[in-house]
A and B are shown apart, each in its own frame.
Chain A
Amino acid sequence: MTTEPRERKPLGREVTDQAEGAPPAVNALEDLPLVKLEGVLKRFGSTTALRGVSLSVDRGSVLGLLGPNGSGKSTLLKTLVGLYHPEEGRVLIGGVPPSGATRAITAYVPEEDHLYDWMSVGGMLDFVSRFYDDWDAVKARELLDFMGLDRSARVGSLSKGMRGRLRLILAMARAADLVLLDEPLAGLDLPSRARILETIIGEYRAGDQTIILSTHEVAEVETVFDRVVLLQEGRVVLDEEAEDLRRKRGKSVEALMKEVFA
């Protein structure tokens, strides 16, 4: 799978004049990375999931967060959403710590199935849509058709692959500035993987949206990455531009990953 080189554009809905009665613009972000972590440490009992992770992600890029199972990828993404609270360090989204305001510009697809079985597909979409100004109902309908999901179907009756597709629609039907995808392909059948990948690439607003995609299955997605971060036992062991990595080292991301984690 190949992708066309993307044109770089500044990220965010540009606000030149604050309209009267409009929601407040929280920050001026010209010089700030969209995502910044400084010395983030997260423990679960006696297990340390993140060991002083520092990282910054610029607007309009696609970051591949790679590593074996248990390397801290999911914990890092959950920390960005504010689902996990680090013991030490600082997490900033658009210059502010995770909060309701940052969650409004963040679309998060967890690895775990967080859907309500008793809801219908349409009900699930309607429920989530009520919380976001950037929800695009037309896009949601198009994605439903593309993914082959029936609005009236009960979520509990969907297969694992279909549920994965629905989770992705909940995120991609929005025009979120930051999209966090946690193992969106894990454990899914080939048709579901193809549909999901196609959606991620097709819906990506080049230069206008930042995607952090965590996975340990690199082969299918490595061409979409602008930058690659390798995590091992909660530490960043490699952080490089994907193109530099291929050019300088003459290796694919997958090959490098195999080498690092061998």
Chain B
Amino acid sequence: MRLQFQGSGLRRLLRYGWALYVKDLAMERGQLAALSGLVILWQLFLISGLSHEWRMPEPEEMLGVGVIVPGLLLPFWTVFSAYNGLRTEWAGRHSQLLLSLPVPRCTLLVVKLAVVMTGATLLSAVTVLGAALIFRPNPYVVVGLVGQEELVPLGALLAQGLKIYLLFWLGLLAGAAATQFAYLVGRLLPRRAWLLNALAFIGGLWLMLRFGTLVGAFSAHPDAPWPRMTIVWWQLANDFLQVLHLGINLAPIGAALIVALGLFLFGCWLLDRLVDA
């Protein structure tokens, strides 16, 4: 006679992951709806004229401020969300339910990361779509100072912005992974966990930056086969519009992401072997 355990397999894992993802997204929906509303309110405030009391913004300025301010806050939200996603499970004792499920514990962390990044992407999309609908920018954007202006097609700017956003998104992902790792390290101590949280988070970010810088030094060699990303940008110089091709070395970014992956896997190991529910 043998005792029959439930099987594993990719399909089963995806089913578990989906159930957890739907549950986690439902937990975040209120916060995401509130933040999306705040972004739209901010953009409406800029265009309403109320903001003109302190400064009269140009349309391009409004567009920039309407998109960049929420964008600058996004990394902070990502870190908060990654931390809070795990904290609420432990604070509400739901960790006892989640960790008693027949799910590889790494799946729980993957799903939490997926939910954080879904939220970040959704908030980014709301910011850009809100700006497009509220500010209704011209198809050409003025580049340069007053009296020395040139027009650049908005579509071309957006295409480059998308490339920069991709790098930004990967940075958010790495930050969220470091935050999860820091939270799990903090769970190892019964007291002063916040101190360990902070140290692990700073240490994780330092490792990413340090490793990225080191790989960057190696990749400076002209024969190094590291991939590069080219960003096209425009600027005025001596009354002429110059098109700049800025080469971004992807090697340091890749190296930092490898460190983030390492932190994530270490976090999975901690959750599986050392962290109590």
Identify the A interface with B (CB < 8 A): 10-15, 22-30, 34, 44-45, 78, 81-85, 94, 100-106, 108, 110, 112-118, 127-128, 130-134, 177
- In the bound assembly, the distance between CA atoms of A104 and B190 in angstroms comes to 29
Q: Measured between C-beta atoms, what is the minimum distance from B224 to chain A in Å?
A: 42
With A85-B273, A127-B19: A28-B2 Cβ-Cβ less than 8 Å? yes
Q: Say whether B8 faces chain A, with CB atoms less than 8 Å apart.
A: yes
Q: How many residues of B contact A (CB 8 A)?
A: 34
B240: which A residues are within 8 A, CB to CB?
none
User: Are A131 and B2 closer than 8 Å at their CB atoms?
Assistant: no
- Looking at B26, B97, B191, B274, which has the most chain A CB atoms within 10 Å of its CB? B97
Cross-chain contact A85 with B274 (CB below 8 angstroms): yes
B100 touching A103, Cβ below 8 Å: yes
Which A residues lie within 8 Å of B101 (CB)? 103, 128, 131
Tell yes or no: B16 within 8 A of A by CB.
yes
Given contacts A100-B8, A103-B101, A127-B19, contact A83 B96 (CB under 8 A): yes
Which of B6, B100, B101 is the most central at the interface, judged by chain A CB atoms within 10 Å of its CB? Answer: B100
Residues of B within 8 A of A14 (CB): 1-2
Instruction: Annotate B1-36 by CB proximity to A: 1 below 8 A, 0 otherwise.
Output: 111111111000001100100010011000000000
A-side contacts of B93, CB under 8 Å: 110, 112-114
Q: Given A114-B93, A116-B94, check contact A29 B2 (CB 8 Å).
A: yes
Q: Interface majority SS on B: helix, strand, loop or mixed?
A: loop
Taking CB atoms, residues of chain B closer than 8 Å to A177 are 3
Q: Which residues of B contact A13 (CB under 8 A)?
A: 3-4
Distance (whole angstroms) from the CB of A108 to the closest CB of chain B:
5
Interchain CB contact under 8 A, A114 and B94 = yes
Q: Which residues of B contact A116 (CB under 8 A)?
A: 23, 27, 92, 94
Among B5, B23, B103, residue most surrounded by chain A Cβ atoms (within 10 Å): B5
Complex interface: chain A residues within 8 A of B103 (CB): 100, 131
11 A-B residue pairings within 8 Å (CB atoms): A13-B4, A25-B2, A82-B99, A83-B96, A83-B277, A103-B101, A104-B102, A114-B92, A116-B23, A118-B26, A128-B101
Kindly state the separation between the CA atoms of A15 and B7 in the bound complex, as whole angstroms. Answer: 14
Contact between A130 and B19, CB atoms less than 8 A apart:
yes
Judged by a CB distance under 8 angstroms, whether B203 is at the interface is: no
B137 in the interface, Cβ–Cβ < 8 Å?
no
Report A199 CB to chain B, min CB distance, Å.
19
The residue in chain A whose Cβ has the minimal distance to the Cβ of B104 is A100
Choose among A45, A82, A115 the residue with the greatest number of B CB atoms under 10 Å from its CB. A82
Q: Which of B48-72 contact A (CB under 8 A)?
A: none
Q: Are A84 and B276 in contact (CB under 8 A)?
A: yes
Complex: how many Å from CA A127 to CA B23? 8
Assembled-state Cα–Cα distance A34/B99 (Å): 21
User: Closest chain B residue to A10 by CB distance?
Assistant: B1
Query: Given the complex, which residues of B lie within 8 Å of A128, measured CB to CB?
Result: 97, 101
Bound complex: CA A24 to CA B8 (Å): 9
Across the interface, do A29 and B102 meet the contact criterion of CB distance under 8 Å? Answer: no
Contacts of B190 in A (CB 8 A): 44-45
Q: Which residue of B lies closest to A116 (CB)?
A: B94
Residue on A nearest B99 in the bound complex, by CB: A83
A114 and B19 in contact, given A12-B2, A24-B7, A105-B3 (Cβ under 8 angstroms): no
Residues of B within 8 A of A118 (CB): 26-27
